[in-house]
């Protein structure tokens, strides 16, 4: 597999509402997205043509999520609220947020639609992965499948 490289033009095609954010700032947010989604050759999230670039999509969604939280978009500064908005009123302007910490990372991802999409796409990769130790073969003259690979001593059977 390969490492995903940020492309400003393809990012803006997918997220035109973030076009007011500078390319250098989006590149910095993309680098920060690599802190949340592994962007190395050893990543569990594949970027194969069979998955149509899943890691690329998730990294772009994470970049958009970070930009939506921190960047000034179309002249609007970020709100600074943490958590999801659970109530709002218009007369004398009141906003309430809820940060239910049953899953700490899920709350952070659910602040924007982009983050929630990335969270859902990464669901199969949040599962526990158990890799058992290799089984030991106690017969030094045979492979685990039973095929001999050396001649047994003392003229024994093959």
Look at residue 134 in the predicted model and tell me its pLDDT: 76
Integer CA distances (angstroms), 70 to 1, 82, 111, in order: 31, 11, 12
Instruction: Find the helix packing angle between 54-70 and 23-36, rounded to 10°.
Output: 120
pTM over 0.95: no
Mean pLDDT to the nearest integer, 13-36 = 94
Q: Where are the beta strands (DSSP E) in 10-122?
A: 84-89, 94-98
Burial degree of 34 (CB within 10 A; 0-12, 13-18, 19+): middle
Choice between 52 and 8, residue whose per-residue pLDDT is larger: 8
Please provide the average confidence, as pLDDT, over all residues in the chain: 80
């Amino acid at each position: 597999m390969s490492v995903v490289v940020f492309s400003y033009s393809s990012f803006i095609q997918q997220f035109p509402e973030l076009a007011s954010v500078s390319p250098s700032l989006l590149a910095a947010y993309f680098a920060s997205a690599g802190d949340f989604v592994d962007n190395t050759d050893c990543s569990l999230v594949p970027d194969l043509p069979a998955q149509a670039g899943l890691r690329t999509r998730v990294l772009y969604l994470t970049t958009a999520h970070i930009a939506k939280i921190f960047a000034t978009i179309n002249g609007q500064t970020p709100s600074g609220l943490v958590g999801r908005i659970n109530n709002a009123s218009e007369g004398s302007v009141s906003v309430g947020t809820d940060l239910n910490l049953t899953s700490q990372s899920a709350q952070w991802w659910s602040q924007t639609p982009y983050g929630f999409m990335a969270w859902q796409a990464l669901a199969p990769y949040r599962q526990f992965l158990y890799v058992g130790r290799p089984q030991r073969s106690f017969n030094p003259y045979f492979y685990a499948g039973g095929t001999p690979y050396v001649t047994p001593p003392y003229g024994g059977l093959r």
